Amino acid sequence: MSIVIEDPLTESATVESKTQAEPKELQLDGGFVVPEANAFGHTFRDYDVESERQKTVEEFYRVNHINQTYDYVKKLREDYEKLEKREMSIWEGIELLNEFIDDSDPDLDMPQIEHLLQTAEAIRKDYPNVDWLHLTGLIHDLGKVLLHPDFGGLPQWAVVGDTFPVGCAYDESNVHFKYFKGNPDYSNPKYNTKLGVYSEGCGLNNVSMSFGHDDYMYLVAKENKCTLPSAALFIIRYHSFYPLHKHGAYKYLMNEEDEENLKWLHIFNKYDLYSKSNIKIDVEEVKPYYLSLIKKYFPETILKW
């Protein structure tokens, strides 16, 4: 069966490219097919359905929304951007994630390594010649190592879940919006207006996001001088920013480069979200391929985290 999608990716895209090629139509024969239900048999990202995961997920967002304040984010970012927690390879980071299940995810309750490989392999199936996107799929959630004791053992509400800007008003498209009313910034006139501490079109790079694995892995990749294109770094940094890429919220903070990179994130999100299943990938079979990509795009084997 052929699937037609609007595709901003081109096989000639280089790591130096900072903008996106014009979208083109790409015919996919036998490629990744979006499943009708998640691993629990429910609609994807349904936060209201009664399931064994629903109560855990809602409690996660209650605590997350109350505690992710502007000052809290600033404090944690200042600490973690030093990258002094540990030195290890990308693959060691992947193996660390075997110990964790994401409490914010209503669609999957398997170890994180399964999700990383499912995402990367689904992308590889549809885009066999765009290897930087395969690697982006593999490493996009590696920031979840923040849950490990070596990284401070942060609580899940400070690591996973949908992200959102802090320092300005919370948009109602945020999951479980009602719990923001318990956040002190909600009633602080400095932070509760549409723009808050920002200016229109300032660019997402100048916006503080709720602290978590997205921004942390972006810092790890950037500061370790990886050669992935800017679109890949944007995907890593904002893949959990669902209010933006699903609902179109907060676009008034974006600049032109953000607009271009958002098109790439829309493509990526299909694989990040809908590849989640109980089907396991043979790690040893695919490992050599991904090790070759890590070597290609990361100049050093051992990274600072």
Binding-site residues = 45, 102-104, 115, 140-141, 144, 161-162, 213, 239-240, 272
Binding positions for Fe cation are 115, 140-141, 213, 239, 272
Instruction: List for the chain the helix, strand, coil content (%; round to 5).
Output: 50, 5, 45
DSSP 58-96: HHHHHHHHHH--HHHHHHHHHHHTT--S-EE-HHHHHHH
User: 64, 261, 32, 221: which is closest to 128 by C-alpha?
Assistant: 32
8 A C-beta contact, residue 298 and residue 228: no
CA 133 to CA 266: how far, in whole Å?
Answer: 13
CA atoms within 13 A on the CB side of 283: 9
Binding positions for substrate are 45, 102-104, 144, 161-162, 239-240
